[in-house]
Amino acid sequence: MEQEKSAREILAYIECNLFKGIDLDKASRLEGEERRTYRLSQVERLLAEKHGSVALAVYLSDMFWTADEGRELPEHPNPLLSLKDQQMLTKEEMDRLRLILEIAGLCHDLSQHFVFDLTEAFGIKNRFWIDNKQLFEWLTTTEYEWIAMHTAFLLRKHAINVFIDSYYQPAQDGMAELFSREHRELIRHPDNTEIPPRDYVKTILNELLRIDRHWKRGHKLKLDPEVVILHDEIYGLIPLQFDKVILQAAQELYDYMDAELQGKLLAKGLRPNVMWRNQPKSVHRAADELLGHFAEKVREVRSKYLAKGWVEDVSLAFGYLMAHAERCLLGNWRNVSMY
């Protein structure tokens, strides 16, 4: 059986294989902005270089933590994370280890795409959202292109989760299937794309800003958030602008849902906090009936406002509207909180 390596041996292995030729003793004495700059330069290198088919950033972070959010320890933790084993290291070794852990931590969060502290990492406002102008400026001007790509990919992932929580399906799907027209390629993982780093980041940020401007324009027009979402569901995507006729159609559907769907299943015996398959059969029958009536209302609105070919029964837009109606029946209505 192979003897377990000591903390000192593991540290030496990391320094020899991942930081070869790098003066970690000198770097470990850096402070403030100089230390942050050094960390970023090393994370950039580790994201770009590979160990086989895996980025060195992943290889390093896997030595300390699982691939889960929160930097969870594996079943058999690295001795370098044991206080008892750390006591066997010299002061100089501990100083180098602290720096390596700082680098490994950011490698973990970036390579696994988990939200991290922007102030600590980049020295900017710690808000991971579209309205953080400092973040957008940093991503479009930084010399650390791999870090920018992974951060933009993470911002896209975070936005998709926000859109999911807000039931904003056109925005959710638009970001999930984001396509670079310039390079004729879907936005994939940074390790699996041919799109140049600057263009990759720009494609994600531009789409997020476009969605943000669209949402704010709806707010300026004093549109109910549900009407904005219905308008976009009818389009089947996030349009470049609001259409007056489509807004009329959305408003008519909104009025119908507000009057005929919201709360109706409670009156039919819907049990809150009970899974749908365990609801009474009377609730299932009522839902089928109410959704059938809503489908007829969509067809009526389609005939009244929309051109031929719009919101066909087999279309994505029709599916969006029916899913919206289901949420309304279950009580998810007039509670959209985008940001």
Please provide the DSSP assignment of 302-316 as one string: HHHHS-TTTT-TTSH
Question: What confidence category does residue 27 fall into, taking pLDDT thresholds of 50, 70 and 90?
Answer: very high
CB 80 within 8 A of CB 7: yes
pTM above 0.75, yes or no: yes
Amino acid at 337: S
Output the pLDDT for position 1. Answer: 38
Collapsed DSSP state (helix, strand, coil) of residue 143: coil
CA terminus-to-terminus distance, the chain: 54
> Nearest-CA neighbor of 318 among 297, 288, 339?
297
Instruction: Tell me the average pLDDT of the chain.
Output: 93
* 210-229: pLDDT as tens digits: 999 999 999 999 999 999 99
Q: Please answer whether residues 243 and 334 qualify as being in contact, where contact means their C-beta atoms are separated by less than 8 angstroms.
A: no
What three-state secondary structure class fits 20? coil
Cβ neighbours of residue 168 closer than 8 Å, sequence gap 6 or more: 229, 232, 336, 338
pLDDT at residue 153 greater than cutoff 80: yes
Share of the chain above pLDDT 70, in %: 98
Beta-sheet strands, E only, within the chain: 50-51, 54-55, 179-180, 185-186
Average the pLDDT over 149-153 and give the result.
Answer: 97
**DSSP string for 197-226:** HHHHHHHHHHHHHHHHHHHHHHHHTT--HH
Confidence (pLDDT) at 207: 96
List phi, psi (to 5°) of 290: -65, -40
Q: What is the CB-side half-sphere exposure of residue 316 using CA atoms within 13 A? A: 9
Burial 120-150 (b: 16+ CB within 10 A, else e): ebbebeeebebebeebbebbeebebbbbbbb
Residue 185 has φ and ψ, to the nearest 5°, of: -150, 140
Q: What is the pLDDT of residue 2?
A: 54
Mean pLDDT of 98-109: 97
Q: With 80 as the cut, is the pLDDT of residue 325 above it?
A: yes
Would you place residue 333 in the very low, low, confident or very high pLDDT band (cuts 50, 70, 90)? Answer: confident
Confidence of residue 4 (pLDDT cuts 50, 70, 90): confident
Phi/psi at 55 (nearest 5 deg)? Answer: -60, 145
pLDDT tens track for 68-96: 888 888 888 999 999 999 999 999 999 99
* Alpha-carbon gap, residue 87 to 154, rounded angstroms: 37
Name the band, by pLDDT with cuts 50, 70 and 90, for residue 149. very high
Is the pLDDT assigned to residue 152 strictly greater than 80?
A: yes
pLDDT at 205 exceeding the cut of 60: yes
Query: Percent of the chain having pLDDT more than 90?
Result: 80
Quick check: 119 and 126 in contact, CB under 8 A? yes
Instruction: Using pLDDT thresholds of 50, 70 and 90, give the confidence band for residue 338.
Output: low
Of residues 266 and 141, more confidently modeled: 141
Q: What is the pLDDT of residue 339?
A: 46
Q: For tokens 């929309």, what's the residue?
A: 306
